[in-house]
Amino acid sequence: MSTAVDQAAVRAALADFPDPETGRPLAEMGQLVAVEAAPPAIRVSIGLTTHSAVLWKQVRGRIEERLRTRFPGVPAVEVTITPHHRPPGKLGQIGLEAKSVVAVGSGKGGVGKSTIAASIAIGLARAGSTVGLLDADVYGPSVPHLLGLEGRPQVESGKIVPMRLAVGTGSMPVMSMGFLVPPGEAVVWRGPMLHGAISQMLRDTLWGPLDYLVIDMPPGTGDIALSLSQVLPLTGAVVVCTPQDVALLDATKAIAMFRKVNIPILGMVENMSFFVCPDTLKRYDIFGTGGAKRTAKELEIPFLGEVPLQIPIREHGDAGRTAANYDDPAARPYLEAICERLVGHLAATNAARPPLPSLPTL
Ligand SMILES: Nc1ncnc2c1ncn2[C@@H]1O[C@H](COP(=O)(O)OP(=O)(O)OP(=O)(O)O)[C@@H](O)[C@H]1O
Ligand SMILES: [Mg+2]
């Protein structure tokens, strides 16, 4: 057995393994950093970008499994991940430095878009990706409240310094109209002003280079989706719904709306899927069951996961501690699974199409 296990054989075994960011073979971009085949051990070092940080553990496991299957006689297989630097290009007329721009929307209000958008941003950032969060709900911004952020952003050389949410050992830039308009004040926006507000928050905020910009969309209306699609190429939209028929119908309309403005659909998240009574541990399907999965299948879009209705999720939101959902073992696995499926799906779609257009800044 040992004669067949040399460096070339190990490299060949991993040659077509896809990079979880681009979907292209790791070997193509110099991401098979070091390969050591010294029976009884195989040691491999793989370079991965922070864009796929949420998948690093999963990728390491899959590579180890592949090596164990290909070289069953080798008792020790060790795979380490090292950071691979691949900076983002500039997107759209505004030159946003981001690799993926993900809008989180729904057709219906109050289904948990902002909670899910913030949770996706926090989950990706916790794993090690560089993430920004834009609250595009200019009429009813709720991100500042959900994240417990307040105050007015500073302006430096004509650019807005975003507020920052502490996540893990770093922090995440967050921008919302809620930081610019005094709380409780009603703003009447007309179409062009709305477009101006969105593009200004995108263009004039000092985001820094990002792996992801997550955008919390307002309910329903297509105006903001249209504005967004005009200023930069969105990677796609995640549609949030509840299992209720009416919410699913609205979600289907939202999907049609995103498609109309050429924003690809990245998948569907079902929120408030079920309730497990803390006293009896009995499960209640308050809004019905399985509807979103079925709808996603019918519409041929990925189902990214479900989030149960949980009192702590609402309490954390009210207390400005949405990030604390990740400290809760009853909520965390659901949120992490959504982040993993989303990023996994991005790699699959990236592999199937050329990279996003990087246009020169105007
Ligand atoms: N899975 C959940 N369990 C318990 N409460 C939840 C859950 N998801 C969201 N909530 C709560 O439901 C309320 C509405 O959520 P959220 O603001 O995220 O919805 P939305 O779709 O963004 O609303 P809007 O349409 O007003 O923008 C909040 O109080 C939030 O804390
Ligand atoms: Mg909202």
Q: Is the pLDDT of residue 1 over 50?
A: no
Note the pLDDT of residue 100: 96
- What is the reported pLDDT for 190? 73
Mean pLDDT of the region 172-182: 92
Looking from the CA of residue 322, the nearest atom of ligand 1 is: 31
Residues 63 and 100 grouped into a single domain: no
pLDDT digits (tens, 9 = 90+) for 66-92: 999 999 988 899 999 999 999 999 998
CA distance 95 to 333: 35
Residues, the chain, total? 362
Instruction: For ligand 1, atom 3, name the residue with the nearest CA.
Output: 309
Are the C-beta atoms of residues 136 and 224 closer than 8 Å to each other?
Answer: yes
* pLDDT value at residue 45: 97
pLDDT of residue 2: 43
Question: Is the same domain home to 227 and 294?
Answer: yes
Ligand 2 centre distance from Cα of residue 53 (Å): 26
Residue 208 and residue 173 in one domain: yes
What letter represents residue 201's amino acid?
M
Q: What is the dihedral sign for C-alpha 353, 238, 336, 146?
A: positive
Q: Where does a domain end: 48, 83, 118? A: 83
Probe residue for ligand 1, chosen from 106, 108, 111, 115 as the CB with the greatest number of ligand atoms within 8 Å? 115
Atom of ligand 1 nearest to the CA of 118: 18
Residue 315: inside a domain, yes or no? yes
pLDDT at 134: 98
Ligand nearest to the CA of 338: 1
Confidence of residue 25 (pLDDT cuts 50, 70, 90): very high
Which ligand 1 atom sits closest to the C-alpha of 308?
A: 1
- Ligand 1 pocket check: which of 106, 114, 332 to mutate, most ligand atoms within 8 Å of Cβ? 114
Alpha carbons 31 and 229: distance in angstroms, whole number: 33
**Domain-located, residue 324:** yes
Last residue of a domain, one of 83, 116, 134: 83
pLDDT bracket for residue 350 (50, 70, 90): confident
Q: Please report whether residue 361 resides in a domain.
A: no
Mean pLDDT, rounded, for 295-305: 93
**Closest by Cα among 320, 304, 259 to 114:** 320
Cα atoms in the 13 Å half-sphere on the side-chain side of 232: 27
The total domain count for the chain is 2
For residue 359, tell me if it sits in a domain.
no
Phi, psi (rounded to 5 degrees) for 72: -65, -20
**pLDDT at residue 93 in the model:** 86
Domain CATH for 134: 3.40.50.300
**Which ligand is located closest to the Cα atom of residue 146?**
1
Question: Do the domain assignments include residue 123?
Answer: yes
> Are 35 and 97 contained in the same domain?
no
Ligand whose nearest atom lies closest to the CA of 116:
1
pLDDT, greater one: 328 or 359: 328
Cβ atoms of 183 and 141 closer than 8 Å: no
Domain boundary among 46, 68, 83: 83
**Pocket of ligand 1, candidates 139, 215, 285, 314: which has the most ligand atoms within 8 Å of its Cβ, to mutate?**
314
Beta bridge partners of 2: none
Ligand nearest to the CA of 113: 1
- 358, part of any domain: no
pLDDT tens sequence across 214-270: 999 998 768 888 889 889 999 999 999 998 888 788 888 899 999 999 999 999 999
**Model pLDDT, residue 249:** 86
CA 302, CA 271: separation in Å to the nearest integer? 15
Same-domain status, 9 and 56: yes
pLDDT at 355: 52
Pairing verdict, β 275-276 and 283-284: antiparallel
Quick one: 347 and 211 in the same domain? yes
Mean pLDDT of the chain: 90
Q: Quick one: tokens of 100?
A: 């993926």
DSSP 204: S
The range of the structural domain enclosing residue 65 comes to: 2-83
CATH number for the domain that contains residue 49? 3.30.300.130
Does residue 69 sit within a domain?
A: yes
Same domain, 304 and 333: yes
Mean pLDDT highest for which of 2-11, 208-217, 219-228? Answer: 208-217
82 C-alpha to center of ligand 2: Å?
37
Ligand 1 shell residues, CB under 6 Å = 106, 109-115, 137, 140, 142, 219, 271-272, 307, 309-310, 313-314, 317
Higher pLDDT, 220 or 295: 295
266 and 128 in a common domain: yes
For ligand 1, atom 18: residue with the closest CA:
112
Under DSSP, the state recorded for 18 is B
Q: 276-287, pLDDT tens digit by residue?
A: 998 999 999 988
In percent, how much of the chain has pLDDT > 70? 96
pLDDT at 357 over 60: no
Query: How remote is the CA of residue 332 from the centroid of ligand 2, in Å?
Result: 20
| Model confidence at 33: pLDDT above 90 | yes
- Both 303 and 172 in one domain: the answer is yes
